[in-house]
Structure 1
Amino acid sequence: MSKKKVKETNSLWPFYSLMAAFARRFGVIALGVVVVVSAVVVAYQTHQLRQATIELKKLQDEQTALDLQWQKLRLEQSALADHSRIEQLAQEKLQMKHTNNDDEIIMKPALRDKE
């Protein structure tokens, strides 16, 4: 009985041998395709990362420039809103001056009941 099993296995040996050779070749080709696709994906992802890093750097530089401009505008606003500057402009351009007690005239409302 054991001789028949050996003969059956041996009779299918060329088929198994052919399938094994095909699987090896197909496996090598499939592995090669997977390696190439993987390399292309890695290159694409690296490119995307570099582009995103460049964009991030540009946005950080823009943020820094805007922060500096904001600080300058705040300093300018505080300088322009300074009380002594406003007082000086009022005196020079509008000829305004501080009043003395002698120059003040206080008017009292007229009472209607007094007729």
Structure 2
Amino acid sequence: MDDAKKSFSLDKSTGKKCYMLAARGLMIAWGGNPQCWMWKIVPYSRFTEVAELKFVWLLEIRGKIDTSMLSPLAYYVAYLVFKMRTDATGFIFHPTEVSVCISGGERISTAAVR
């Protein structure tokens, strides 16, 4: 979907909708800066390209999905799927805040993760 920037499937056991956004379908702060991010093709990835963080002082990733595609009166969850390099540092020393917002910027949920 959307030039391979989104994926849609139905859960086999429940029939519920599942939407996924590719890295190219996200708004990644400094994502176009080759000093901060490298775009790579990974054969085992669901999507054609993945984003590899090289260096950044602010990690901000935003995704957007049209809520008209969602089922009414259903609960949804949001996941950020990533693979941590073995030599990566930073997340260990600084707690990371993640949040889910609706259109207009109203936060629905915020959590600190390590």
Range of TM-score over shorter length: under 0.3
TM-score scaled by length of structure 2: 0.14
Q: Which has the higher relative contact order, 1 or 2, with Cα contacts under 8 A spaced 6 or more apart?
A: 2
Q: Quick check: which one's helix share is greater?
A: 1
Larger Rg: 1
Q: Quick check: which one's strand share is greater?
A: 2
TM-score scaled by length of structure 1: 0.14
